[in-house]
Amino acid sequence: MIEDFDSSGVLFGDSQRNTIKLFDLEGKTVNIKSFKIPNVINQVAYKYFRKSKAKRSFEYANKLLENGIGTPQPLAYAENFTLLGLEKSFYCSEHLQAELTFRELVQNPDYPDHENILRQFTKFTFDLHQKGIEFLDHSPGNTLIKKGSQDQYEFFLVDLNRMNFHDDMDFDSRMKNFHRLTPKIEMIAVMSEEYARLYNKKYDAVFDKMWFYTNDFQLKFHRKIARKKKLLFWR
């Protein structure tokens, strides 16, 4: 499948940065992510000094499962090296079909059982933090959500190549980890209330810090977009 990746498989997603394709393997759907070829400096770095994104994804997926955190079952990773350094790399996992991602909660405030899902997602994130797992790409599209039984939901992390593992996460690190998820103050309020309850901390302290980091991210994000528009004004 990897050898024939460019000419086979079913394209999944928009392929803006990396390319994901789905393949059939003995009745199971395999999800293979092809990472874009790194720049020259990173090609050398990934060969001699750092683990590739594919290798990190595979190792982190196994570490998540060891800690009882949901992620699609990892299967393999592959790396193609040239004399210079890393060229192509691939991460393979079982494809997980989910009802929604966190993004649907942001885009549709009337999504069925919205608040319950949001509170359970907050508990899922709290459990990550309690285990010292800092998911650096904790953003709307990177948590798959499946409905279980009796209004219970399961959460699965994807896009795993950026994580930190700590003995303990301090309060600021925990709150900052929410900063990319949603700009909506009403969602921040619900998550703050649930996290405060779980963390045994006052709601105002949690909300103020979570909202501060969210606002800070949004300001930087929109400034970056504005700069790009100015630089690429002819497009």
Tokens representing 172 are: 């600021």
Q: What is the CB neighbour count within 10 angstroms for residue 163? A: 19
- Which option is the CATH number for 100-224: 1.10.3470, 1.10.510, 1.10.600, 1.10.1760? 1.10.510
103-161 tens-digit pLDDT: 999 999 999 999 999 999 999 999 999 999 999 999 999 999 999 888 999 999 999 99
Give, as one character, the DSSP assignment of residue 166. -
Q: Do the domains at 5-94 and 100-224 have one common CATH topology?
A: no
155-214 tens-digit pLDDT: 999 999 999 999 999 999 999 999 999 999 999 999 999 999 999 999 999 999 999 999
Name residue, tokens 């649907």: 104
* One-letter amino acid for residue 21 of the chain: K
Q: Is-contact 221 227, C-beta < 8 A? A: no
Domain boundaries, the chain: 5-94, 100-224
Q: Is-contact 185 211, C-beta < 8 A? A: yes
Least confident of 89-93, 213-217, 227-231: 227-231
Q: Is-contact 208 171, C-beta < 8 A? A: no
- Which option is the CATH number for 5-94: 1.10.20, 3.40.50, 1.10.3470, 3.30.200? 3.30.200
pTM metric for this prediction: 0.91
Tokens representing 110 are: 């009337």
For residue 220, name the pLDDT band (cuts at 50, 70, 90). confident
